[in-house]
């Protein structure tokens, strides 16, 4: 089986469209009124500008895409080059968004850290879920745009008021966070991180190809159909 078929998947969730509204959220900094998705982008931009003013070491070692921290700016750049801006396909785990030197090392990583059909990223509105964070982020911005909800890009928590959302968002930047060791999400409390790992870093749905196979069946996992 291919690695992508064995470990990755998507689940449609409830499939009920959320009612669109004309609800807007007021920015606490510049008093602009914006609909939910534009407001989320706006808040992130404000807080990134504030963080840049401090010019702390953390600014130079935190990935702007997945918010993971690295020991040095060089390691951060290597991560961004291989995972987020790679021109050529490289061995990358879609669940935790880390790159590896070879396909064999990636396969060992998947065996040691992930379960078949693991989908840890969950939309808390309609329960759509995926193995890849970008799928849930795109899902929210498409299916839940122009609604009364705001999505935290760090932990996927949902909010319905601007002040609570901004305070929560800022806490992810400024306070100690608890990072899931098996995916890119981070939480403000240890309890939330433990609950996430217990519920979501498990097999959600077995791959169709292995359903019904007798116990002990040998399954060979490959990263592609062609040798690399």
Higher pLDDT, 36 or 83: 36
Give the burial class of 190: count Cβ atoms within 10 A of its Cβ; 0-12 exposed, 13-18 middle, 19 or more buried: exposed
Q: Give the burial string for 160-172 (b: 16+ CB within 10 Å, else e).
A: eebeebbebbeeb
Kindly report the pTM of this predicted structure.
0.88
| Residue-averaged pLDDT of the chain | 90
The rounded distance, in Å, linking the Cα atoms of 7 and 132 is 11
The rounded distance, in Å, linking the Cα atoms of 13 and 26 is 30
Give Cα separations from 116 to 91, 179, 196 (angstroms): 18, 22, 17
The rounded distance, in Å, linking the Cα atoms of 48 and 160 is 22
Q: What is the pLDDT of residue 225?
A: 64
- pLDDT (tens digit, 9 = 90+) per residue, 144-191? 999 999 999 999 999 999 999 999 999 998 889 999 999 999 999 999
The rounded distance, in Å, linking the Cα atoms of 147 and 37 is 9
């Amino acid at each position: 089986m291919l690695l992508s078929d064995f470990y990755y998947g998507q689940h449609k969730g409830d499939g009920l469209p959320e009612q669109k509204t004309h609800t807007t959220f007021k920015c606490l900094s510049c008093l602009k009124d914006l609909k939910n998705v534009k407001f989320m982008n706006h808040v992130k931009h404000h807080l990134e500008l504030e963080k840049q003013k401090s010019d702390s070491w953390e600014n130079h070692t935190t990935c702007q895409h997945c918010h993971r921290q690295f020991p040095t700016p060089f390691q951060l750049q290597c991560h961004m080059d291989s995972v987020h801006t790679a021109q050529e396909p490289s061995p990358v785990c879609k669940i935790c968004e880390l790159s590896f030197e070879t396909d064999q090392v990636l396969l060992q990583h998947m065996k040691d850290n992930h379960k078949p059909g693991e989908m840890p990223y969950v939309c808390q509105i309609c329960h759509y879920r995926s193995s890849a964070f970008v799928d849930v982020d795109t899902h929210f911005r498409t299916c839940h745009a122009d609604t009364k909800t705001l999505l935290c890009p760090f932990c996927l928590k949902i909010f319905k008021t601007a002040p609570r959302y901004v305070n929560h968002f800022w806490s992810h930047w400024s306070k100690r966070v608890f990072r899931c060791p098996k995916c890119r999400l981070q939480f403000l409390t240890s309890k939330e991180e433990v609950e996430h790992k217990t519920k979501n870093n498990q097999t959600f749905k077995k791959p169709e190809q292995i359903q019904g196979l007798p116990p002990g069946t040998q399954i060979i996992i490959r990263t592609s159909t062609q040798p690399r």
